[in-house]
Structure 1
């Protein structure tokens, strides 16, 4: 069965901690997605397309997700250049 770009992103760049009060907010989640796309040489989809796809997979406002992997490191270093 083929997995969509969004399924692969969620599997490779996020982990579910199972606590709804631990939530990866919307801006960081989309930023993580764009970092994941950059690292995987994928073209990011428009933000509206991303959120439409995410709404079928997770609760965007209480998702229980945390960042993981190379995309997380890229996102953090890109977002906070003073850390380098």
Structure 2
């Protein structure tokens, strides 16, 4: 997956929130990416490739200061917490 597609994921499924006390952690960020990929008909890359892609995009997955947004966020939440659906 090209870095530009990782950037597309960031643009479509996340929003920056520097003041957030609860930004997305590495596992949630990857889960959001998996949901985003599924919605786009893509096979998600393994976690290591994802982390490398995030690094190339300037995102530290351990301190992302990102929040989820958009259709991938809804898909991720419903997949992660089926009792909500």
TM-score, L = length of structure 2? 0.88
Moved more, 27-36 or 38-47: 38-47
Distance in 2 separating the partners of 1:24 and 1:35: 14
In the alignment of these two chains, the number of paired residues is 83
Which consecutive aligned stretches of 4+ in structure 1 deviate over 3 angstroms post-superposition?
none
Q: CA deviation at 1:22?
A: 3.8
| Deviation digits for residues 23-43 of structure 1 (CA, Å, limit 9, x no counterpart) | 211111000000000001111
Structure 1 residues 49, 3: closer, same or farther in 2, change over 3 A? closer
Structure 1 residues 83, 20: closer, same or farther in 2, change over 3 A? closer
| Deviation digits for residues 41-78 of structure 1 (CA, Å, limit 9, x no counterpart) | 11111111000111222111111100000000000000
Distance in 1 separating the partners of 2:55 and 2:16: 16
Distance in 2 separating the partners of 1:26 and 1:80: 18
Equivalence for 1:66: 67
Distance in 1 separating the partners of 2:20 and 2:52: 20
List gaps (5 residues or longer) in structure 1: none
Equivalence for 1:26: 26
Distance in 1 separating the partners of 2:3 and 2:54: 14
